[in-house]
Chains A and B, each alone.
Chain A
Amino acid sequence: MRPAALLPSIQRQRRGSARPVTVAEPAAPVPAAADPAVLHRLVVEHGDAVYRLALSVVRDRALAEDIAQETMMKAWLALPTLRDQGSLRSWVLRIANNTAISTLRARRAIAVDPHELPEAEAPVERSVESRVQSDAVVSEFVAALDTLDELSRTIVVLREVEGLSYDEIAAVLNVPLPTVKTRLLRARRRLSSTLKEWA
């Protein structure tokens, strides 16, 4: 077992390192005394972004929550291996994307009937503001979102909701920069065309 002293606190982040972020899978043994406070901060600070990314990939809320849970466990256990903890957000999002893509591939591999794949989700929890919008308007936006491929959905969410730079998105998703730019351009055009009726 790894000594508890090796488990760092998020507060003790090393900054200024130029090392590339690498995603390390957690080592096989479970740390004897993984700090619950570290898990709490991971979940509070990154849980929502991880869930949104997962949902943008798999379009199924229950599956997105499972992926978020698995991501948090991997990140919590592997945190001691993260060299540049200033890149924590990108690192967690990369784990989330890898986990979501693996989950989706596994589902597709076992799904003989394409109807067994996750259904595109209609929004089930909406803010006060959104409740004044007609269902038809929201549905049109969701339908447009579902016309995009997983990569494009993820790119537009990381840019427009999470506020990542193009370079950060390329690093998180491990895709070339031109891919980020062109997919984002297309996603913005397609989705924006449905937003005329949104207040």
Chain B
Amino acid sequence: MKLRHPSKAVLRDWLTGEIEPDTTDTVERHLDTCARCAATLEAIEPAPETPVAPEALGSALAIVLAPPSDLAQRLEAGVTARLSSRQMMEVVADLFGAGMETTRLLMIEGDDDDDS
């Protein structure tokens, strides 16, 4: 069933977040497919006090989402460790003729036992 176009006031509320969650879902489903409402949305003027430099948003996001400075080393070490663990599971699976998932569950259970 084709949804009715939301009013401009509803679209404005969706932009600012002043909208009920149920209505949000309906509006978002409609916006996923309606070019006309997408255009209406773009035509809604932003609040006049909010002009910022085009690159400011990206800079601010990069700051608050900044990765740790040693991320690359940590990822390499982590992946290598995971791979070793996986290779060990293959050896165990081969030895006992078990499937990989069974072996993984057994090894996880073993880890839990060690912790307790």
Contact = CB atoms under 8 A, between A and B. Distances in A.
A43 B58 contact: no
6 contacts: A39-B79, A51-B71, A127-B66, A145-B64, A157-B65, A195-B50
Contacts, number: 143
Given A29-B90, A126-B66, A176-B33, A161 B71 contact: no
A138 B79 CA distance: 33
Interface residues of B, number: 47
Given A43-B76, A48-B71, A76-B79, A195 B57 contact: yes
A47 B79 CA distance: 12
Interface of A: 28-30, 34, 36, 39-40, 43-44, 47-48, 51-52, 55-56, 61, 65, 68-70, 72-73, 76, 123, 125-127, 129-130, 138, 141-142, 145, 147, 156-157, 160-161, 175-176, 178-179, 181-182, 185-186, 188-193, 195-196, 198
Contacts of A196: 49-50, 52
A186 B69 CA distance: 31
Given A48-B71, A56-B65, A127-B63, A178 B90 contact: no
